[in-house]
Amino acid sequence: MKKYKSNKDSRVIISQLMLPSHSNFSGKIHGGYILSLMDQIAFACASKHSEAYCVTASVDRVDFLKPIEVGELVTLKASVNHVGNTSMVVGVRVESENIQTGKMKHCNSSYFTMVAKNNKGESISIPGLILENKTAIRRFVRSIIRKEDATLRRNRFKESEFEPESHLEILKEYNVKVNL
């Protein structure tokens, strides 16, 4: 019998104080450090849902919306938005809080596709997802659409079918020099 879990069963929230050692040359928290935290929480969430070791298969677009300052408290929230047979999409939201003022800001969000693995490194089946409200249904459907969009982008210019000459006009708008 197929097992199902709600996204509440695997939701993970972590908070961490941002230290000077996490900052880049401009004094803001390094984006790579935040990405590492996002990957860790996506792993924890996916592993909790699948009850197995998980690996990151892909990361959907990450836009850094607002910089994070040293001394702010960063909170990452992760939940399973979509499941397939062996993979799941984990939504990750990053917020930061100025501890002195209490002001919160949304810094970024992204979607991590995680795959459950056994001890031999083989992909394994995962529990289904119980959709309990409109938000869960919306997130699931948006994941389907993002997956379809990614497939379209990948297939848009197959190398064997691509003719650069037919795209030279659009390149005039960009800071490039074409030497064929």
Residue 138 is assigned to a structural domain of this protein: yes
pLDDT in tens, 135-161: 999 999 999 999 999 888 888 777 767
Which CATH number belongs to the domain containing residue 105 in this structure?
A: 3.10.129.10
Residue 122 is assigned to a structural domain of this protein: yes
| Listed residue (143, 123, 149, 34) closest to 79, CA to CA | 143
Residue 177 is assigned to a structural domain of this protein: no
pLDDT in tens, 74-84: 999 999 999 99
pLDDT band at 179 (very low <50, low <70, confident <90, very high): confident
Contact 38, 112 (CB under 8 A): yes
Residue 180 is assigned to a structural domain of this protein: no
Count of structural domains, the chain: 1
pLDDT in tens, 23-53: 999 999 999 999 999 999 999 999 999 999 9
Domain membership of residue 56 as a residue range: 4-171
H/E element holding 116?
strand 104-117
Residue 81 is assigned to a structural domain of this protein: yes
